[in-house]
């Protein structure tokens, strides 16, 4: 049984129930109203005869009362008889044969007659007006009215049921159609096509659900793209150094076996192999760190150390690369000693990622600098800044640049370096957050980039030795 049929059946049943109770109430109310109107009509007939009888007695014109009595019987099928009497004798009767006869002479069937009698006094003359109604005719009239009411009630009920069914079907369709559309989209998305959208454009709960589902599909599509980029980057990050290592090892083996070269000749080759091995190690460490962060198993070990010295060490690691790219490196004051309470190896990892990114996106002749800003009065946080004169970051990228697998859309202008994995800034943000600090980026296209983060200051002394 489909959802549409269930909705239609439920709404139709509810509509029918409401209509039945409403119609029954209306029917009973109209029936009572008609019964009351019949009673009022009978009373009006008796009152009209009493009024004419009073006038007839006043003007001493019995013929006026006689004509009106005959008129009442002729025009009202429910009237069996009516008469006017005074001093025990009939002075006007719907049947002329009873005129001037004693009242006791007139007989009628009391079981089938409803009698209304009104006594009045006209001057000193007592007058009685009597009207007899046929109970059978009254019941027939009432039954006819009831039949008309019931027939109208049934017709209205049937029409309302048909109209209610149609309306409930349309309503059920308006509710189930978008659900069916969502089901088709979900099935398509489940088949791997994450580019589909529902696009209902409704301003109700179903529309809100569809919009949220479209947003989820868009995010899943973006995650799929990021996964593909990550897999591509991982493949390159693993394949390139491994291929280089394999080539140099093959060369070294060949020279040892064939040319019997002395070991000293392989020093440069061994350094190149070590360089690529280190590159692999850093990449695998980043992947493992990202996994620890996502699983909540990431930990740090805080100890006081001078942050300027660490910054200088990191810049030294990149000096050869910066020189080859003709980029100037600038560090903090070598004599400064700003103590921070942090995990030195983890902060080294942060600075390494930030400086590496800056070199990657800074053109030839540019500058990459690391500076340390002392805490303001009343503040206990040191700010470490990494600035570059690179291509800059658009606002659309800046709001999500610290997410997992996120990568800048601006390709490097000066280098053929492989595309990153999207792990560096995510790990940097997670490390800073684990220290209780914040990391922010300030940038604009063509204006360079500043990325800064905060660390807690330390009060312990650090020896020069």
Which is it for strands 367-373 and 439-443: parallel, antiparallel or unpaired?
Answer: unpaired
3-class DSSP assignment, residue 269: helix
Q: How far apart are CA 159 and CA 11, in angstroms?
A: 16
Q: How far apart are CA 161 and CA 178, in angstroms?
A: 26
Give the N- to C-terminal CA distance of the chain in Å, as an integer: 83
pLDDT for position 141:
82
3-class DSSP assignment, residue 381: strand
Whether residue 49 contacts residue 69, with contact meaning beta carbons closer than 8 Å, is answered with: yes
**Token pair for 130:** 């009597």
pLDDT for position 92:
92
DSSP string, 30-68: HHHHHHHHHHHHHHHHHHHHHHHHHHHHHTT-HHHHHHH
3-class DSSP assignment, residue 200: coil
pLDDT for position 259:
64
Residue 350 CB: number of other CB atoms within 10 A?
29
Residue by residue, pLDDT tens for the chain (465 residues) are 566 666 677 777 777 787 777 777 877 887 788 888 888 988 999 999 999 999 988 888 889 999 999 999 999 988 999 999 998 899 999 999 999 899 988 988 888 888 999 998 888 889 999 999 988 888 888 788 878 878 877 887 788 778 777 777 777 777 777 778 888 888 888 787 878 888 877 777 778 888 888 888 888 887 777 776 666 666 656 666 677 777 777 777 777 666 666 666 666 767 767 766 766 766 677 666 666 666 666 778 899 999 999 999 999 988 988 998 999 999 988 678 889 999 998 899 899 989 988 998 899 999 999 999 888 777 788 999 999 998 888 877 777 777 766 666 554 444 445 555 667 788 888 889 988 999 999 988 888 899 999 999 987 544 443
Whether residue 374 contacts residue 338, with contact meaning beta carbons closer than 8 Å, is answered with: yes
Q: Which positions ≥6 away from 361 have C-beta within 8 Å?
A: 388, 390, 391, 408, 410, 412, 413, 449
pTM of the predicted model as reported, rounded to 2 decimal places: 0.47
Q: How far apart are CA 134 and CA 417, in angstroms?
A: 113
Residue 355 CB: number of other CB atoms within 10 A?
24
Q: Is the dihedral of CA 190, 195, 201, 205 positive or negative?
A: positive
Domains 3-155 and 220-292 share a fold: no
Q: How far apart are CA 135 and CA 256, in angstroms?
A: 135
Q: Is the dihedral of CA 68, 74, 77, 82 positive or negative?
A: positive
Q: Topology of domain 220-292, per CATH?
A: Helix Hairpins (1.10.287)
Q: Which positions ≥6 away from 76 have C-beta within 8 Å?
A: 45
Q: How far apart are CA 406 and CA 51, in angstroms?
A: 103
Share in percent of the chain as helix, strand, coil (round to 5): 60, 15, 25
Q: How far apart are CA 134 and CA 142, in angstroms?
A: 12
Residue 315's nearest CA partner among 412, 237, 386 is 386
3-class DSSP assignment, residue 409: coil
Which is it for strands 367-373 and 328-330: parallel, antiparallel or unpaired?
Answer: parallel
Residue with tokens 């949220």: 212
Residue with tokens 């190149």: 272
Q: How far apart are CA 400 and CA 409, in angstroms?
A: 12
Identify the helix (H) or strand (E) that includes residue 122: strand 113-122
Residue 76's nearest CA partner among 109, 106, 116, 107 is 116
Domain 299-456 indexed as CATH 1.20.1290.10: no
Distances (CA, A) of 160 to 26, 169, 283, 463, 464: 15, 14, 73, 94, 96
Whether residue 215 contacts residue 184, with contact meaning beta carbons closer than 8 Å, is answered with: no
Q: How far apart are CA 173 and CA 298, in angstroms?
A: 52
Instruction: List phi, psi (to 5°) of 253.
Output: -60, -40
pLDDT for position 413:
45
3-class DSSP assignment, residue 108: coil
Contacts 24+ apart (CB under 8 A), 247-255: 248/272, 248/273, 249/273
What is the homologous superfamily of the domain 3-155 according to CATH? Answer: PAS domain (3.30.450.20)
Residue 52's nearest CA partner among 38, 74, 72, 37 is 72
List the domain boundaries for the chain. 3-155, 220-292, 299-456
Whether residue 38 contacts residue 191, with contact meaning beta carbons closer than 8 Å, is answered with: no
Q: How far apart are CA 41 and CA 30, in angstroms?
A: 16
Residue 441's nearest CA partner among 409, 382, 380, 396 is 396
């Amino acid at each position: 049984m489909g959802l549409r049929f269930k909705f239609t059946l439920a709404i139709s049943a509810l509509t029918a129930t409401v209509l039945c109770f409403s119609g029954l109430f209306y029917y009973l109310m109209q029936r009572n109203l008609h019964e009351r109107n019949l009673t009022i009509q009978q009373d009006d007939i008796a009152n009209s005869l009493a009024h004419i009888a009073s006038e007839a007695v006043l003007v001493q014109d019995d013929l006026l009362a006689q004509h009106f009595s005959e008129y009442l019987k002729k025009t009202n099928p429910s009237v069996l008889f009516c008469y006017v009497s005074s001093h025990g004798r009939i002075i006007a009767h719907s049947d002329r044969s009873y005129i001037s006869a004693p009242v006791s002479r007139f007989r009628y069937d009391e079981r089938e007659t409803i009698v209304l009698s009104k006594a009045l006094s006209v001057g000193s003359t007592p007058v009685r007006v009597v009207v007899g109604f046929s109970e059978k005719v009254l019941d027939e009239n009432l039954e006819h009215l009831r039949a008309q009411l019931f027939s109208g009630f049934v017709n209205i009920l049937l029409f309302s049921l048909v109209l209610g069914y149609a309306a409930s079907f349309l309503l059920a369709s308006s509710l189930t159609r978008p659900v069916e559309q969502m089901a088709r989209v979900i099935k398509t998305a489940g088949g791997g096509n994450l580019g589909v959208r529902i696009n209902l454009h409704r301003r109700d709960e179903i529309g809100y659900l569809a919009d949220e589902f479209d947003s989820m599909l868009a995010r899943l599509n973006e995650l799929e793209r990021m996964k593909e980029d990550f897999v591509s980057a991982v493949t390159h990050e693993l394949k390139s150094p491994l291929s280089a290592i394999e080539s140099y090892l093959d060369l070294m083996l060949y020279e040892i076996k064939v040319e019997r070269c002395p070991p000293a000749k392989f020093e440069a080759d061994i350094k190149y192999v070590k360089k690529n091995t280190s590159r692999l190690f850093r990449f695998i460490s980043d992947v493992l760190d990202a996994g620890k962060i996502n699983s909540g198993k990431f930990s740090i070990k805080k100890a006081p150390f001078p942050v300027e010295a660490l910054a200088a060490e990191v810049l030294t690691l990149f000096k050869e690369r910066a020189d080859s790219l003709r980029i100037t490196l600038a560090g903090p004051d070598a004599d400064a000693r700003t103590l921070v309470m942090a995990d030195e190896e983890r902060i080294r990892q942060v600075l390494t990622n930030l400086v590496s990114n800056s070199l990657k996106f800074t053109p030839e002749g540019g500058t990459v600098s690391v500076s340390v800003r002392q805490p303001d009065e009343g503040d206990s946080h040191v700010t470490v800044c990494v600035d570059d004169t690179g291509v800059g970051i658009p606002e659309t990228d800046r709001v999500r640049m610290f997410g997992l697998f996120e990568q800048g859309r601006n390709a490097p202008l000066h280098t053929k370096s492989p595309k990153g994995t999207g792990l560096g800034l995510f790990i940097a943000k997670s490390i800073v957050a684990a220290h209780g600090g914040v990391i922010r980026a300030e940038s604009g296209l063509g204006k360079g980039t500043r990325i800064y983060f905060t660390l807690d200051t330390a009060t312990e002394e650090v020896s020069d030795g």
